[in-house]
Amino acid sequence: MDKYISNLEKEFSLIENGFKEEEKRAFADYKSNDNEYNKKLAFLAYKSNVYQVRMYGVFLFGYLSADEKILIFMRDEVSKDDNWRVQEVLAKAFDEFCKKNGYENSLSIIDEWLESGNPNTRRAVTEGLRIWTSRPYFKENPNEAIRRIASLKEDMSDYVRKSVGNALRDISKKFPELIEAELNSWELASKEINQVYKLASKFIYN
């Protein structure tokens, strides 16, 4: 297994952009091995100094996230990774969890992550579920998506606020009247809310 990770480091370190190769390999390995082997592989990969191999490991975590310990590790530890590309994959891995578990069944976990003290954990949800109203449950209940996303309109993190504004803007393409009603309820008293408002209203007022 160590040798396999070493080979991945050599191979993936040559990839400067994107994530498709890491995702493709992680899925192939997930399908080819049993869960216990894949868990060991994922944790070993995540220890790598090569961020592309950590990305691969996080994709594996997403496929294995029915295991509560792995989901908690994603929430509490992967969210601390200082590489933004790894955080992009965390968002994808969280969506993979919701897809496997069912979006409606995942509402309590979604809410838990949205209330996390770590901005990367919060953003994994707002970004990972985009476009929210293309996902089961939220497609039929767009207000449930809007309410959750909008709760972070004053988030302390610029990184999160941009994701929030863009996620609301996405929804405005199909549900402009719902987003307009939400935005009309805001008091634009802070620069944080104004930033999100400007992003979210792009297709409504421009």
| Amino acid present at 65 | S
Q: What is the pLDDT of residue 24?
A: 97
| Spatial separation of the C-alpha atoms in residues 52 and 58, rounded to whole Å | 10
| Spatial separation of the C-alpha atoms in residues 31 and 6, rounded to whole Å | 21
Q: Report pLDDT digits (tens) over 143-191.
A: 999 999 999 999 999 999 999 999 999 999 999 999 999 999 999 989 9
| Spatial separation of the C-alpha atoms in residues 157 and 115, rounded to whole Å | 13
Residue 206 predicted with pLDDT over 70 = no
Q: Report pLDDT digits (tens) over 66-97.
A: 999 999 999 999 999 999 999 999 999 999 99
CATH superfamily name and code, 102-206 = ARM repeat domains (1.25.40.290)
Domain 1-86 grouped into CATH 1.10.1240.70? yes
| Spatial separation of the C-alpha atoms in residues 121 and 84, rounded to whole Å | 12
- State the virtual CA torsion across 174, 180, 186, 188 in degrees, nearest 10: 100
- For the record, the structure tokens of 192 come out as 């944080």
Split at pLDDT 50, 70, 90, the class of 204 is confident
The per-residue b/e assignment along 112-124, b for 16 or more CB within 10 angstroms, e otherwise, is: ebbebeebbbbbb
SS (H, E, C) 104-149: CCCHHHHHHHHCCCCHHHHHHHHHHCCCHHHCCCCCCCHHHHHHHH
Question: Across residues 189-196, what is the average pLDDT?
Answer: 94
Residue 102 in contact with residue 144, Cβ under 8 Å? no
Q: Report pLDDT digits (tens) over 26-82.
A: 999 999 999 999 999 999 999 999 999 999 999 999 999 999 999 999 999 999 999
pTM for the structure as a whole: 0.95
| Spatial separation of the C-alpha atoms in residues 189 and 130, rounded to whole Å | 27
Q: Report pLDDT digits (tens) over 108-140.
A: 999 999 999 999 999 999 999 999 999 999 999
- For the record, the structure tokens of 152 come out as 């972070």
Domain ranges within the chain, ordered by starting residue: 1-86, 102-206
- Do the domains spanning 1-86 and 102-206 agree at the CATH topology level? no
Residue 197 predicted with pLDDT over 70 = yes
Number of neighbouring beta carbons within 10 Å of residue 90: 26
Residue 1 predicted with pLDDT over 90 = yes
